Structures are given as structure tokens and as C-alpha cells.
Amino acid sequence: MTDEQIVQSNWARSDPSLDTNPASSFWRNSLPTYMDADAHGKPDPTHRTEVRTRWTAKNLYFLFVCPYDDLNLKPNPNRLAETNKLWNWDVAEVFIGADFTNIRRYKEFEVSPQGEWVDLEIDLSKPHHGDGWKWNSGFEVAARIDEAAHVWYGAMKIPYSAIDTRRPAQGNTLRINLFRSQGPASARHQIAWRSPMSDSFHVPERFGLLRLVKK
């Protein structure tokens, strides 16, 4: 695969408190990846989204830096329990799996600008894979909105064991895609790292790779 199809996650020695500041020491030591096209591959530079990732002996971290025009937020947000169908509002999403044999099996993690979250176990072979939101990974999220700059930040801390049966280690690779939904239905932007070339994000054939790197 080319570098454009690989996300590099850099090692961190310890697990910090979840942090949404891309200039912090934790996130500065990560390599940014960018999402800048829609689901069908059309460039969307106005909503170019930066993604950073790191890993530790226990967890996998992601940070999304999301420029926006108008936010589409769910009224009365619940940050204490997961929000099913959170994807109907503004979210940043990680689709990730360790199964290279059955690529239709993977996990989905979402965070909203308000700090809402949902995690799903996906198996596209099952007729009712929408029930996957009942699965619980134990992941954590943090989010904040910078209204003056028109940017929101969303961070995730995902237990590595929720994704992979292997222990996290230098050189491990996972199958991954990154997405973002932004704006009201009348002006919706669907932004992708690896464009699925479909109205659905659930096209595992279009995933790239995430590689754990210990520097």
C-alpha cells in the first residue's frame, strides 16, 4: 500500500487524561492524517479534517480537528450513556477491525461535538447488524467547540482489547477508515479519509491500514 493508504499511530509510554488540544505534548508527537474528500471522492477542502492517533500498552487514541460552517447538534445531549443513531447529527467516526479474513466484521466508534458517543460491533453478514450498538467497548471520549474559530475537537480513548485479540505491539496493522458527518440535512457534508464511493460508509473493501509504530 502507498503511504496515502496507511495511518501511522505513534507509541506513547503512558496513558494521559483524554486531551483535545492538538498542540499538547501528547498529540504533538503524532503524525497527522487528513480527510479532505466526500464519500464519492470529490474534494471538500473547506472541511479538511485533521486526525491524529497514538497507542499505548492498553489503548488506542484518536483526535479529530473539525472545521465547520454550521453545526448540526442533537438537542438535550446525553453524555452519560451512548446515543444510538448519533450519526444523524455531526460526528467524527473511526471504523476499525483486526479481521483480515472476514473484512465485513469490524468496530465503529463515534464522538459528537457535544461529547456524546456510540460504539458498535459491525458484522455486515448479519441481517440486523444495526443491533451492534448494544455492544460496549468501554471507550472514552472528550470534545469541545471553538465557536470563534469554527472548529470542534473530538478525542477517543479505545481499549485495544476491544478491537484486537493480540496485544498492542510495534508493527501491528489494523484495517481502518475515518469519516465525518457535518451540517444540517439540507447542506450535509460527508467527509472521508478513504472515500467509500458509495452513499454508505460501510464499504470495508475501501478501508486502508493503521500501523502501530514505536519510535
CB 179 within 8 A of CB 191: yes
The reported pLDDT for the residue numbered 134 is: 85
The reported pLDDT for the residue numbered 4 is: 72
Q: Looking at the domain assignment, is residue 80 inside a domain?
A: no
Q: Looking at the domain assignment, is residue 123 inside a domain?
A: yes
Q: Looking at the domain assignment, is residue 157 inside a domain?
A: yes
Q: Looking at the domain assignment, is residue 78 inside a domain?
A: no
Q: CB neighbours (10 Å) of residue 134?
A: 11
Q: What is the pTM of this model?
A: 0.96
The reported pLDDT for the residue numbered 214 is: 93
Q: What domain range includes position 201?
A: 3-72+87-213
- CATH number assigned to the domain comprising residue 149: 2.60.40.1190
Q: What integer is the mean pLDDT of 60-69?
A: 97
Q: Return the percentage of the chain with pLDDT > 70, whole number.
A: 97
- Phi, psi at residue 150, to the nearest 5°? 55, 50
- In the chain, how many domains are there? 1
Q: Where are the beta strands (DSSP E) in 68-194?
A: 91-97, 105-111, 117-123, 140-146, 151-159, 173-182, 189-192
Q: Looking at the domain assignment, is residue 77 inside a domain?
A: no
pLDDT tens-place string over residues 4-28: 799 999 999 999 999 999 999 999 9
